[in-house]
Amino acid sequence: MKFDQPATLNPIDRGRVIGIAHDRIDGPAKVTGTAPYAYERHDVAPNAAYGWIVGSAIAKGSISAIDTRAAEAAPGVFAVVTHENAGPLGKGEMNTAHLLGGPRIEHFDQALALVVAGTLEQARDAARLVRIDYAREEGQFELAAEKDKAVKPPVSWGTQPDSAAGDFDAGFASAAVKIDRTYTTPDHSHAMMEPHASTAAWLGGRLTLWTSNQMIAWAVKELALTLKMKPEDIHVMSPYIGGGFGSKLFLRADAVLAALGARAAGRPVKVAIARPQIPNNTTHRPATIQRIRIGADKNGVIDAIGHEVWSGDLPGGGIESAAMQTRLLYGGKNRMTAHRLAVLDLPEGNAMRAPGEAVGLLALEVAMDELAEKCGVDPVELRIRNDVQYDPEVGPKRPFSSRKLIECLRQGADRFGWSKRNPKPGQVRDGHWLVGMGVAAAFRNNIASKSGARVSVDGKGQVTVETDMTDIGTGSYTIIAQTAAEMLGVAMEAVTVRLGDSKYPVSAGSGGQWGGNSSTAGVYAACMVLRGILAQKAGFNAEDAEFEDGMIKAAGKAIPLKQAAGRDGASAEDKIEFGDLSKRYAQATFGAHFCEVGVDMHTGETRVRRMGGAFAAGRILNPKAARSQVIGAMAMGVGAALMEELTVDTRFGYFVNHDMAEYQVPVHADIPEQDVLFVDELDDKSSPMKAKGVGELGICGAGAAVANAIYNACGVRIRDYPLTLDKVIRSLPAA
């Protein structure tokens, strides 16, 4: 099915199943421990051996010598895999560094060996016996030190690194009110619950891999390139994933080494990247330096806006696209954005939940708060005054498909009690706490991706959906079941969903908040074909047939769905393909974050008292799951604002705080109250579902709302994240 014209009235619009809050259908399996995760596949890979990764002790250089004899002679060891005996390996297109290093070393803790043994303890202990001699080289590990050497990067993921409209320099120079501020964000770790883990088994020359990966088709392609195999000889399965947040979009060392280890040991092998290895071995969100300049009139209406971003990565890596939202969020005829990339010899930087906007809005939305104060305009009103209903870089010829930022700001402010905020910082007290409120806009581009599915109905009226779409804890199983139930007029209990298998039709996969809208649109497409087949078998015209209550109805007649399917059943496969609507219309999701904090006047400690948000993201397919997505993302935003930071040892080039004891993330007790409002919206130019992504929108702007609330509480403005108490207390007024 080609989606190249705005959607009209269709079966999804009935809203009998879609759009209704529904419990996660995978919930019972997860809470009873019966959901099979990649490292636990004892059922299909019995007597598997265990692999333990040996990582590089230096950040840059080469291996002079590697001695595995002691490890190979250790109790229980079956094999030790290194670059010397792994055989010829290629490199995937989506990895910056090699997943098995040697003799060159590209970053600290890069996998250099895998020890395979009968038990985890044997593999771990033997790994300590691998002796590696290094030729260490000096590296560059500090973004600020390399900032002046940063260069304009090439086009990445189809996006130009720079953009311009009008004359920014002239517009900014002549503005009545100017803001020129620099903000910094540190490196971040994904810190998902389930580590990167895989179980691999060989049968002849064919590889079966059970892995924790968000993108099944990408994993097959990258494995084929890395292992120099035919894609058809690789079977990848990932039905359940315990969180990914972008770290599992791409092939990682656990998958490659599990495959190599299983081949070397002649038996199935499971590999999990140990928690302390994850920050340095896998990917992270790169640090940024961001300069924002805004020129406005005395009423706060923007005439000139510029956003420059510096980030770093390994040679061949990419940017953290933190200025992207600045291209679309606010008006102003004179505009400029730029991204510059420095070479850093740190572990690979790559996608983390809402790449670009998550950290870009940490800067932009604080700059907007500073502009509001300088103009003497309420921060909510300032954002409303600068709303624009078309792409401000292009003009009215490219309108937004749907844009309800103003509705989000107004409804969110009313619901949060914004009118009670004292605009003068440091005026509201609750005992020894200084109390303040902050606001920030939320923005995340809407991306749609080609997605396929196969849907069948058997002779009992049971519906089965198969697609290689993944569920990373986001509720994919449920919204896909809801889509099929709505389209075929059956109850949710009559639908079985099978996900995460490379033998199923290729889907959009989970990432970039494109998964829910795209994958359900793919199921919609397959269901439309199946509706035609079933209607014809029932003797009806497909255009006239209605599917409801397990029946096919037309011309005053009703035939049970199972009767139309017949003894042999019926099946259909199709995919959704998107045309140029995203070029003709700017497509994005919007929202407004509100936060109330308390700052201890003696210690500078910050406590989030409550958060609220209003969001517009097209049709909300399952409000219960969507709320869970949003409040989880808001919590991540609080983490970025107050505590999350990978600390770089600039002498040796590694992240020092590489475990959950020292890399702090928020917990439930840190945010006692979260309120979410979804603004009614249907976007007929997004997909036949009229939905958009929502999973990443909740993190975008949340941290800035916290920062703005801290300023309102105590008058301390900090532009260097995270806003830890040592930074706050330096500037606190005397208690």
What is the set of active-site residues? 696
Distance, in Å, from the CA atom of 292 to the CA atom of 452, rounded to the nearest integer, reads 41
Handedness of CA 113, 117, 119, 121 (dihedral sign): negative
CA distances 604 to 275, 325, 427, 733, Å, are: 31, 31, 16, 10
Joined together, the tokens standing for residue 616 give 């517009």
- Which residues have C-beta within 8 Å of that of residue 109, sequence separation ≥ 6? 55, 56, 277, 280, 281, 347, 654
Helix (H) or strand (E) holding 415: helix 405-416
Distance, in Å, from the CA atom of 97 to the CA atom of 18, rounded to the nearest integer, reads 42
CA distances 256 to 51, 89, 99, 201, 259, Å, are: 11, 10, 7, 12, 5
Q: Phi and psi (nearest 5°) for 187?
A: -70, 145
User: Do β-strands 269-272 and 288-296 pair in parallel, antiparallel, or remain unpaired?
Assistant: unpaired
Collapse the DSSP code of 523 into the 3-class scheme (helix H, G, I; strand E, B; otherwise coil) and give the result: helix
Cβ atoms of 193 and 472 within 8 Å: the answer is: no
Burial 652-687 (b: 16+ CB within 10 A, else e): ebbbebbeeeebbbbeeeebeebbbbbbebbbbbbb
DSSP string computed for 391-414: -TTT-TTSBBS---HHHHHHHHHH
Joined together, the tokens standing for residue 672 give 């006692």
- Which residues have C-beta within 8 Å of that of residue 285, sequence separation ≥ 6? 187, 188, 189, 190, 320, 349, 352, 355, 358, 359
Residue (of 502, 511, 482, 505) closest to 494 by Cα position: 482
